[in-house]
Amino acid sequence: MTSDNYVLCDVGWIFRLSATLYRLLPRVLRNSAKIAHYASVNVAKLMPSGRAIVNTAGGKMCITPRHPADLQRAWGVWEIDLQSFIKKTLKNGHVFIDCGAHRGTYTIMASNLVGSSGKVISIEPFQDHFECLKFTAEQSLYDNISLVNAACGSTSGRAMFSEQERHIDEIGISVECVALDDVVSKADFIKIDTDGRELDILKGAKKLIQNGAQTIVEFSDFQYQSLDVLWRDAHTFMAELGCRPYVIRKDGSLGPEVYTVDEIKDRHVLFRNVNSPLENVV
């Protein structure tokens, strides 16, 4: 099976054995980030090049076997907190926006959870990831995924995108940019994982958030942004829209309301819309 210049390969017996053995580990070891990193880095060296369709916790998806993070996705240990939260909260009929979809980890999971009456809008600017994302979307049990090959921002139009730094920047190539408010009129959940420009994306989704969308943002400390400033500005903006921030725990439950940058570094934060009910979350 091919798409443009991408060929799907057979992951081979080493991958299947590693996946089986990893799933047999005691939960405390299986959920250890350090063990997952060490194991995936070393197993990835033995994997074939190319792309492959594999089973994951959310459904079948396209991965790059030589990428350690993709192995963790296949083993079911990638971002356990967010996967657990999504499994607990997404229901049949929901509309889910995957902003910064990458290869489609949450696109395929959400698609299978919201069912035929729901909808998933999956947005990814990088062509390499987008080609893989298309393969992933084809694996869904339902015809409910809309793919958008674009970046997200405060307004729709064009933006400069730096492929080297993997984020929107003043230096780079010009790409299509969309404001989420221009993509869809209603959403139940928005997931943002874009390694920069989160505040602009939130501004572009203001109407969706005001209309009840629950918003998940990953806050990571990258050299091209000040996490302190990002957190302060995002917290202030979302508070004005009636949203309170809660860190998502590993089991998918919500921690207490957070206030400081130290509490959210490298964590997924749910900006819970107090004007909209959120079921199945404790």
Segment 36-84, tens digit of pLDDT: 899 999 999 998 888 889 888 888 999 999 999 999 988 888 899 999 9
Same domain, 113 and 236: yes
How far is Cα 212 from Cα 200, in angstroms, rounded to an integer?
19
159 bridge partner residues:
175
Q: What is the mean pLDDT of residues 231-251?
A: 94
Same domain, 40 and 86: no
Report the Cα–Cα distance between both ends of the chain, in Å, rounded: 43
Mean of pLDDT values over 120-139: 93
Q: Looking at 52, 75, 98, which one is the last position of a domain?
A: 75
> Does residue 5 register a pLDDT over 50?
no
Is 31 among the domain residues? yes
* Domain identity same for 212 and 250: yes
What is the C-alpha separation between 205 and 153, in angstroms, rounded? Answer: 9
Q: Does residue 163 share a domain with residue 261?
A: yes
Measured CA to CA, the distance from residue 178 to residue 264 in angstroms comes to: 27
Which CATH number fits the domain that encloses residue 186?
3.40.50.150
Q: Which stretches of 220-266 are assigned E, i.e. beta strand?
A: 243-248, 254-257
125 and 6, same domain (yes or no): no
SS3 category, 58? coil
Last residue of a domain, one of 75, 107, 122: 75
Whether 203 and 104 map to the same domain: the answer is yes
Q: Residues 159, 151: contact at Cβ < 8 Å?
A: yes
Q: Is 101 left (phi over 0), alpha (psi -120 to 50) or beta?
A: alpha
Nearest CA-CA partner of 161 in 177, 182, 178, 149: 177
Do the domain assignments include residue 84?
Answer: yes
Residue 63 and residue 203 in one domain: no
At 61, is the secondary structure helix, strand, or coil?
strand
- Where among 75, 95, 125 does a domain terminate? 75
Q: Is residue 67 part of a domain?
A: yes
For the chain, how many structural domains are there in total? 2
Round to whole Å and give the CA distance between 22 and 165.
32
Continuous segment of H or E residues that includes residue 107: helix 105-114
How far is 173 from 241, CA to CA, in rounded Å?
33
The DSSP output letter for 64 is: -
Residues 218, 265 within the same domain: yes
- Do 104 and 56 lie in a common domain? no
Q: Which domain holds residue 29?
A: 2-75
Please give the Cα distance from 73 to 230 (Å, whole number). Answer: 28
What is the predicted pLDDT for the residue at 222?
62
Whole-prediction pTM:
0.88
How far is CA 77 from each of CA 33, 36, 131, rounded to the nearest angstrom? 8, 7, 23
- The answer to whether residue 281 is domain-embedded is no
Q: Judge whether 282 lies within some domain.
A: no
Q: Are residues 260 and 161 in the same domain?
A: yes
Residue 223 vs residue 117, higher pLDDT: 117
Q: Is residue 238 included in any domain, yes or no?
A: yes
Position 278 in a domain: no
CB hemisphere CA count around 216 (13 angstroms)? 30
Helix (H, G, I), strand (E, B) or coil at 36: helix
What local confidence, expressed as pLDDT, does residue 62 receive? 92
Q: Residues 94, 47: one domain?
A: no
Residues 6+ apart with CB under 8 A from 156: 177, 178, 179, 182, 204
Q: Using one digit for the tens of pLDDT, what is the confidence trace for 156-207?
A: 888 776 655 444 444 466 788 999 999 999 999 999 998 778 999 999 999 9
Q: Write down the pLDDT at residue 195.
A: 74
User: What six digits make up the tokens of 96?
Assistant: 């889910």
